[in-house]
């Protein structure tokens, strides 16, 4: 099987650059085989593994400083790597809230800033009972890599509050969110030009609206850009159309780049296209639900969904829109009448595409051998441990890594941020003007033809009409998202080919991101 992959790679025109031996540090070495590695060590391991591939190239790139010795170039690269592989800031805050019962409870929250090579930093806020320092740190690393991977000009951060949101009333959640916001603001940890949060697991536009409101009424009272304190807000409160579904939408767009490519599908022995591809999804939250609503109209069949309280299965396919209605009312997929309850391990059932869209470390060395899929699209952050990743590669399962697969969310957050600091929504100023320009172009062509005695009426066809009429914010966001995902996937594919990485798309995506972070650090100097 691997001979087949190498044959495929050899045909491509790039030579393999000279490799230097970047040492994987002792503290993450064990991660390669660990059953349940600490999350941030796991992300650091992936980063160092990619640095082993990228280091030579980074050193070569410094040949643009002709007077630098080879030693100086190597040292500069090592220095930048040190900055890339350490956390700039991490804060733990503890604050009391008054529960509805009249009792006080001490709440713990975190915010981690990874890399300050670009400001503001960007990363979601997670509400979950297992949030800890290590997790937010690992997630902040991923944000830096993700933003670089899809060319969104932010550094990486992440936050979390250690609570199970299901155990708190809406009023209590509002107190927690507002107090967490104030605690971060007091310490200058977040701000429109510093670090801009967004939704993640357990939070949604509701919490983002509370954060924006808290900022505007306090520290941001005189800040004209106060709306840009957070993204993922409701549209009526400075949000952008398309952010709610952006991560699932982006996941679909990313899958499309591989599933529609004959070269990549030949590599894993699948036909191109989504038609008749069977899909299993873990997590029917924001990411999972919206991924399903894009993948099904493209022709794929969702045959199984695993949630925290149970799994459902239907070999003929589950209608995600109908299930969304059920889920909205019942707050669970369990009992959905148009599918069977599934006992056993759904992730190990045969399918073509497996979408882990819930949480980290769900694909481990234990189940990587028994999973029966051809493609894994990582909707969640960090669902695959390094030990599992190795097994999946050996089994020629194509893993499309989180830092590109779920980057649609931050890409559209970037559009929302731009909307907020520009104080105008996309299309508002240009929509009528664009329509006029097209109408005049068509008329001008018609007049020119008339001058040459060709008397025809030129009318826009349906697609052009659609563009003229529908340049709404939602259309512009969707088209921007497609462009972001297409160009990131192209970069990753080229990197995989150039470094002969075969099916190791994770290393390719990391190398692609590292190159950009390196350029940014290197260009601005290291004294910051």
Ligand X SMILES: NC(=O)C1=CN([C@@H]2O[C@H](COP(=O)(O)OP(=O)(O)OC[C@H]3O[C@@H](n4cnc5c(N)ncnc54)[C@H](O)[C@@H]3O)[C@@H](O)[C@H]2O)C=CC1
Ligand Y SMILES: O=C(O)CCC(=O)C(=O)O
409 touching ligand X, by CB under 6 A: yes
Q: How far, in Å, CA of 378 to CA of 250, rounded?
A: 11
Instruction: Name the binder of 306 from ligand X, ligand Y, none, CB < 5-8 A by kind.
Output: ligand X
Instruction: Name the binder of 231 from ligand X, ligand Y, none, CB < 5-8 A by kind.
Output: ligand Y
The length of the chain is 528
Query: Who's near 509: CB < 8 A, 6+ residues apart?
Result: 145, 149, 401, 403, 404, 492, 495
Instruction: Name the binder of 380 from ligand Y, ligand X, none, CB < 5-8 A by kind.
Output: ligand X
Instruction: Name the binder of 123 from ligand Y, ligand X, none, CB < 5-8 A by kind.
Output: ligand Y
Candidate residues 183, 195, 200, 378; the one interacting with ligand Y per rule CB under 6 A: 200
Binding mask 265-304 for ligand X (x = CB under 6 A): -----------------xxxxxxx----------------
Binding mask 136-155 for ligand Y (x = CB under 6 A): ----------x---------
Q: Report yes or no: 46 and 510 within 8 Å, Cβ to Cβ.
A: yes
Helix (H, G, I), strand (E, B) or coil at 349: coil
How would you classify the pairing of strands 155-161 and 104-113?
A: antiparallel
Q: Report yes or no: 24 and 45 within 8 Å, Cβ to Cβ.
A: yes
CB of 47 to ligand Y, least distance (A): 16
Instruction: Name the binder of 379 from ligand Y, ligand X, none, CB < 5-8 A by kind.
Output: ligand X
406 touching ligand X, by CB under 6 A: yes
> From residue 323, how far is each of 3, 250, 397 by CA, in Å?
43, 21, 29
Residue 238: exposed, middle, or buried by beta-carbon count in 10 A (0-12, 13-18, 19+)?
Answer: buried
Q: Report yes or no: 402 and 383 within 8 Å, Cβ to Cβ.
A: yes
Q: Which residue is nearest to ligand X (CB)?
A: 285
Q: Which residue is nearest to ligand Y (CB)?
A: 124
Candidate residues 242, 379, 386, 401; the one interacting with ligand X per rule CB under 6 A: 379
CB of 124 to ligand Y, least distance (A): 3
Binding piece for ligand Y, criterion CB under 6 A, among 9-17, 170-178, 403-411, 455-463: 403-411
* Binding-site residue positions: 122, 146, 247, 286, 413
**Looking at the annotation, which residues are catalytic?**
158
CB of 248 to ligand Y, least distance (A): 12
250 touching ligand Y, by CB under 6 A: no
410 touching ligand Y, by CB under 6 A: yes
384 touching ligand X, by CB under 6 A: no
381 touching ligand Y, by CB under 6 A: yes
Distance of CA 106 to the CA centre of its chain: 32
- Which helix (H) or strand (E) is 125 found in, with range? strand 121-127
* Binding-site residue positions for substrate: 122, 146, 413
How would you classify the pairing of strands 155-161 and 121-127?
A: parallel
Strand (E) positions, 230-383?
278-282, 301-307, 310-313, 340-342, 353-356, 375-377
Q: Which residues are near ligand Y by CB under 6 A?
A: 122-124, 146, 198, 200, 231-232, 381, 406, 409-410, 413
């Amino acid at each position: 099987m691997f001979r087949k992959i190498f044959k495929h790679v050899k045909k491509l025109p790039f030579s393999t650059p000279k490799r230097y031996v970047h040492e994987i540090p002792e503290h993450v070495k064990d991660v390669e085989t660990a059953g349940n590695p600490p999350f941030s060590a796991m992300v650091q391991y992936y980063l160092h593994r990619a640095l082993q591939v990228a280091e030579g190239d980074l050193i070569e790139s410094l040949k643009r400083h002709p007077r630098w010795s080879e030693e100086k170039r190597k040292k500069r690269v090592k220095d930048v790597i040190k900055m890339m592989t350490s956390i700039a800031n991490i804060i733990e805050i503890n604050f009391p809230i008054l529960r509805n019962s009249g009792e006080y409870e001490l709440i713990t929250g975190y915010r981690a800033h990874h890399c300050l090579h670009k400001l503001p930093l960007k990363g979601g806020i997670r509400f979950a009972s297992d949030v800890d320092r290590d997790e937010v740190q690992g997630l902040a690393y991923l944000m830096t890599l993700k933003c670089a991977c899809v060319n969104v000009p932010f550094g990486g951060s992440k936050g979390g509050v250690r609570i199970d949101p299901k155990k708190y009333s809406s009023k209590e959640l509002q107190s927690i969110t507002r107090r967490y916001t104030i605690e971060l603001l007091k310490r200058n940890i977040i701000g429109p030009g510093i670090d801009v949060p967004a939704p993640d697991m357990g939070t949604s536009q509701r919490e983002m609206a509370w954060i924006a409101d808290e900022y505007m009424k306090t520290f941001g009272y005189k800040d004209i850009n106060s709306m840009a304190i957070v993204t993922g807000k409701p549209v009526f409160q400075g949000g952008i159309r398309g952010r709610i579904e952006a991560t699932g939408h982006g996941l679909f767009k990313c899958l499309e780049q591989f599933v529609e490519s004959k070269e990549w599908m030949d590599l894993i022995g699948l036909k191109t296209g989504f038609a008749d591809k069977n899909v299993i999804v873990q997590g029917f939250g924001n990411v999972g639900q919206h991924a399903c609503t894009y993948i099904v109209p493209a022709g794929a069949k969702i045959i199984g969904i695993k949630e925290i309280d149970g799994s459902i299965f239907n070999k003929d396919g589950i209608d995600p829109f109908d299930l969304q209605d059920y889920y909205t009312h019942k707050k669970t997929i369990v009992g959905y009448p148009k599918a069977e309850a599934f006992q056993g391990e759904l992730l190990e059932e045969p399918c073509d595409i497996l979408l882990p869209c819930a949480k980290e470390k769900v694909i481990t060395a234990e189940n990587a051998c028994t999973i029966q899929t051809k493609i894994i699209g990582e909707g969640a952050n960090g669902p695959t441990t390094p030990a599992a990743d190795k097994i999946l590669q050996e089994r020629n399962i194509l893993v499309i890594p989180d830092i590109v697969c779920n980057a649609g969310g931050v890409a559209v957050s970037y559009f929302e941020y731009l909307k907020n600091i520009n104080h105008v929504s996309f299309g508002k100023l240009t929509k009528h003007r664009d329509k006029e320009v097209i109408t005049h172009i068509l008329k001008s062509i018609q007049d020119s033809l008339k001058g040459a005695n060709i008397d025809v009426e030129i009318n826009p066809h349906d697609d052009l009409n659609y563009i003229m009429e529908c340049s709404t914010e939602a259309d512009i966001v969707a088209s921007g998202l497609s462009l972001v995902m297409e160009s990131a996937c192209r970069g990753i594919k080229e990197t995989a080919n150039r470094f002969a990485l075969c099916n190791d798309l994770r290393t390719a995506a990391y190398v692609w991101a590292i190159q950009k972070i390196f350029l940014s650090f290197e260009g601005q100097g290291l004294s910051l």
